[in-house]
Amino acid sequence: MILPDIVEALLLASPEPLDERQLLSLLADEGVDRGELEAALARLRRNCEGRPLELVRVAGGWRYQVRREFSPWVSRLFPEKVGRYSRALLETLAVIAYRQPVTRGDIEAIRGVTVSSQIIRTLEAREWIRVVGHKEVPGRPALYRTTDKFLADFNLEALEQLPPLPADEDKTNTD
């Protein structure tokens, strides 16, 4: 058995992305070191060239996925999942992603409308956001942050990879 094959087998069979630390611990008996693992991962990435799947690094680890070009066909497998979200949900998610941690009050101040509990529940059910604490103001409102699963589901490794917000020339946005 050679290392890249074993790593490929692990990543293909894992329901969740696996990061380097997890892979090294799965391969502890074989005494694989980090350098060898990284070389194996690099090789597996190259092996995907010209193939319908790709190996990507997202938040949480490495994941094999079918390339975007094939979504017209693959999405036919999941006709019920349209994957369309309302503007209200996307705007709420955007406020949390770009301004985290935020309370519902913060979201309402930015969007100018009440935040529906349904939207918050949907975002929590998708595990895209979670409560990370409470703001020390009267009522102790919950503070929301996005999760690693949010990043992974949007094909991102870190928050810094989010598309930049349009420039804020006049710096009126304090605090």
Partner 1 sequence: MTGAVVAKVRGTPLHEFPENLYIPPDALRVVLEETFEGPLDLLLYLIQRRNLDIMAVSVTEVTEQYLGYIAVMERLRIELAAEYLLMAALLAEIKSRLLLPKPAEEEDAEEDPRAQLVRRLKEYERIKQAAVELDGLPRLGRDLFPVLLTADLPPRTPNLPKVTVDQLADAFRQVLVRAERGRSHAVPRESLSVRARMVRLLESLGHGKPVAFERLFDPGEGRAGLVVTFLALLELCREGRIEVLQREPLAPIQVQLR
* Residue 39 partner contact from partner 1, its own copies, none using kind-dependent CB cut-offs of 5 to 8 Å: none
For residues 65 and 100, which CB has a smaller minimum distance to its own copies in the complex?
65
Distance CA 12, CA 2 (A): 16
Q: Which stretch binds partner 1 (CB under 8 A): 19-27, 34-42, 133-141, 160-168?
A: 160-168
Buried b (16+ CB within 10 A) or exposed e, 17-55: bbeeebbbeebeeeebeeebbeebbeebeeebeeeeeeb
Residue 85 engages partner 1 in binding (rule: CB under 8 A):
yes
DSSP 14-83: -SS-B-HHHHHHHTGGGT--HHHHHHHHHHHHHHTTTSSEEEEEETTEEEEEE-GGGHHHHGGG-TT---
For residues 37 and 143, which CB has a smaller minimum distance to its own copies in the complex?
37
Residue 124 engages partner 1 in binding (rule: CB under 8 A):
no
Residue 162 engages partner 1 in binding (rule: CB under 8 A):
yes
Residues that bind partner 1 (CB under 8 A): 9, 12-15, 53-54, 63-68, 70-71, 74-75, 77-78, 80-85, 87-88, 90-91, 93-95, 97-98, 109-114, 126, 152-156, 161-163, 165-168, 170-174
